[in-house]
A and B are shown apart, each in its own frame.
Chain A
Amino acid sequence: GQQLNQSPQSMFIQEGEDVSMNCTSSSIFNTWLWYKQDPGEGPVLLIALYKAGELTSNGRLTAQFGITRKDSFLNISASIPSDVGIYFCAGQPVNTDKLIFGTGTRLQVFP
């Protein structure tokens, strides 16, 4: 099935560093969502974005809906060990009610 381009695939960072990841699409999206998945668990919604240009924060997490409506980024500031996991973007293309998921960014945080 169709998937979004998400990068980077993996990140290995030191505790306290900031993290940035992004997703791009070849088509326009109405909605962007960011999820986190811990090992052996289902994804959990972190942030939802509904308007182009929208910038939303959730604690140390900040995400933006790109102006072109074809991209979104997620930033994590001052990373901590519990940030470890796989982060997925998901988007709703125009004229569909489906969600398309990115391939994930695997984050590893070292103390």
Chain B
Amino acid sequence: GAGVSQSPSNKVTEKGKDVELRCDPISGHTALYWYRQRLGQGLEFLIYFQGNSAPDKSGLPSDRFSAERTGESVSTLTIQRTQQEDSAVYLCASSSTGGWHHTDTQYFGPGTRLTVL
């Protein structure tokens, strides 16, 4: 597709279960970001992938959160042993930057709304 896509669009899970969220970036974009957006809040940076370099994981809130990216394509964000505080919209973005510039235009996906009961 032309834009960033994410799946599922909505996910309801029980506390303690693991979830996997998927992001398909724009083809050819080397940079990929994950953000968390709690209700009524701004975006919190989680993790950043740039090409084949080691990802910047400095925003991950706990060791229950992890993400992978295969080359310059799909990324998955995994949350293990989900807690109610993990309920949020998880947004993925990609950009065509060849360098470590988060200010290069990021194109966002529609997000995955995660609800932990």
Binding site for B on A (CB under 8 A): 1, 3-4, 6, 30-31, 33, 40-45, 48, 50, 88, 90, 92, 97-104
Considering residues B91, B101, B106, B110, which has the most beta carbons from chain A within 10 angstroms of its beta carbon?
Answer: B106
Contact, CB under 8 Å: A97 / B42: no
Contact, CB under 8 Å: B102 / A101: no
Inter-chain contacts of B105 with A (CB < 8 A): 45, 48
* Mask of B91-102 contacts with A, CB within 8 angstroms, 1/0: 101000000111
Given A41-B108, A98-B59, A99-B106, 13 more contacts at CB 8 Å? A1-B45, A31-B103, A42-B93, A43-B108, A48-B105, A88-B42, A92-B102, A98-B102, A101-B42, A101-B44, A102-B42, A103-B41, A104-B41
Question: Chain A nearest CB: distance from B108 CB in Å?
Answer: 3
Judged by a CB distance under 8 angstroms, whether B1 is at the interface is no
Known: A1-B59, A92-B103, A99-B102. A42 touches B42 (CB 8 A): no
Contact, CB under 8 Å: A40 / B41: no
Tell me which residues from 64 to 78 in chain B have a Cβ below 8 Å from any Cβ of chain A: none
Inter-chain contacts of A104 with B (CB < 8 A): 40-42
Question: Chain A nearest CB: distance from B41 CB in Å?
Answer: 6
Q: Which residue of A lies closest to B109 (CB)?
A: A42
Contact, CB under 8 Å: B4 / A42: yes
Judged by a CB distance under 8 angstroms, whether B117 is at the interface is no
Contact, CB under 8 Å: A41 / B110: yes
Question: Chain B nearest CB: distance from A96 CB in Å?
Answer: 9
Q: How far is the CA of A5 from the CA of B93 in the complex (A)?
A: 23
Contact, CB under 8 Å: B108 / A44: yes
